[in-house]
Structure 1
């Protein structure tokens, strides 16, 4: 009998999370993996996004036509189907602005369409996850901090989305930071939230946009301020884990906000024999 001790080889996953991202964006995968426990693995699929160039470059304000085109068939449908061919536990759409443009009804129709390609694997998206997160937190007054590459009209559509879901949006707008993913720092984002949002006294703030660097500031801001802090990738990953039935893995996550102490109402039951 061999006494060789095998090293970790990546097959010991408690949960596997698939994420669909714009072709030149590394934000969702980077932040998911930063948050993830050692036994949760992230698998990405990419879809062409017409407002993004090689290297992640974008215009200072992204046009709306490519935002809508990102979720039109056939590219995203094919990407979801190919991702769902893998033995995954959940699929997440790492894109915020398309839901703003579609509205809540259009987003539901998108999920219904894509569900026909997922082999029954649960599917979620950023804004749907944020609604679930706000609800789990008992937040009614919310603030939405959008990326600087969202224009005022797109930000207004986001406010309308959350208002339609029954929340009072006490502040929304593009943050006043450089419109460049690589130039947004945790320190600058924290200062913006502290000086621009805190005075509106929200129950919770959402830093929207999956391409904005944000998860690293959640814990520090919640310790300082008297409201919950959600970010696009943090809340999407939280929701995905619960839909995957990986509640135990979610509860092991610390340092990324009080949200991980809670479960969404629609959480999938844990498999029998799972550790509580």
Structure 2
């Protein structure tokens, strides 16, 4: 019996916190998916603007991308929401363009993955449950507004380090989501790739009764979309049940 040729989508991930979401996603997605991951340099683990600008700098991402290219990847995503939206819309576009110049492959970032995922699901109004400090969370709201998404509720948990975010377990994640949803929102967004969510995506949506988009979920979805994977898949929320739409463009105009 022939096995399907895997779609291999490369993940650039800063430091160590919830990177084990990607093996979980790979297992749940099936035998035709590979999500090789390279850890990028994090000189300081801090959800603070100056530290995030360094985490997402051109040199740091280029070094990680060159290592990732040896893994036979078909696409690359910079799997760090705050390390992309902190540059603003134009800066995040430039970040992806410079990274793509290194990879020579379809390339994107988690911030744009949220925008593309929202478009795929036809979302207009969203609530945001951010683990970040309030000033960083506000920059994510600005990014979403630049994509014509209305943020009807913005919540901040105020956690400084990715390492601390990565310690939050299932019950804490579900209760954080439920406490920060809004009846006016079409979906809830949870934007930190340091937050474990992969194993609980369907539970989150059952709890809220609406789509929930999380950072590692949309990162994997975007990377697989760029790698040409189009199949709808169960067990990972409404986004994966919707498929990818088949277009392989990266950051939007």
Tell me, yes or no, whether TM beats 0.5: yes
Q: Does 2:176 align with 1:192?
A: yes
* Cα contact 1:51–1:62 (8 A) shared by 2: no
| Mapped pair 1:100 → 2:92 | no
Task: Output the TM-score relative to the length of structure 1.
Answer: 0.80
**Higher Cα radius of gyration:** 1
- Give 2:205's aligned residue: 222
Q: Does 1:23 align with 2:15?
A: yes
Residue 153 (structure 2) pairs with residue 160 (structure 1): no
Instruction: Determine the C-alpha separation between the residues in 1 that align with 2:42 and 2:109.
Output: 17
Per-residue CA shift, 1:6-29, capped at 9, x if unaligned?
xxxxx9741112111113334253
- How many angstroms apart in 2 are the aligned matches of 1:84 and 1:29? 18
Which blocks of at least 5 consecutive residues in structure 2 are unaligned?
none
Within the alignment, does 1:203 sit opposite 2:183 as a pair? no
Q: What corresponds to 2:72 in structure 1?
A: 87
Q: Secondary structure at the match of 1:142?
A: strand
TM-score between both structures, scaled by the size of structure 2: 0.87
Q: Tell me the number of residue pairs that the alignment of Structure 1 and Structure 2 aligns.
A: 246
Q: Look up the match of 1:48.
A: 41
1:70 aligns with 2:55: yes
- Consecutive unaligned residues of structure 1, counting only runs of 5 or more, are 6-10, 53-60, 270-276
Q: Does the Cα contact within 8 Å between 2:127 and 2:152 map onto a contact in 1?
A: yes
Aligned in 2, Cα 1:101/1:192: closer, same or farther, shift over 3 Å?
Answer: same
Whose RCO is larger (CA < 8 A, sep 6+)?
Answer: 2
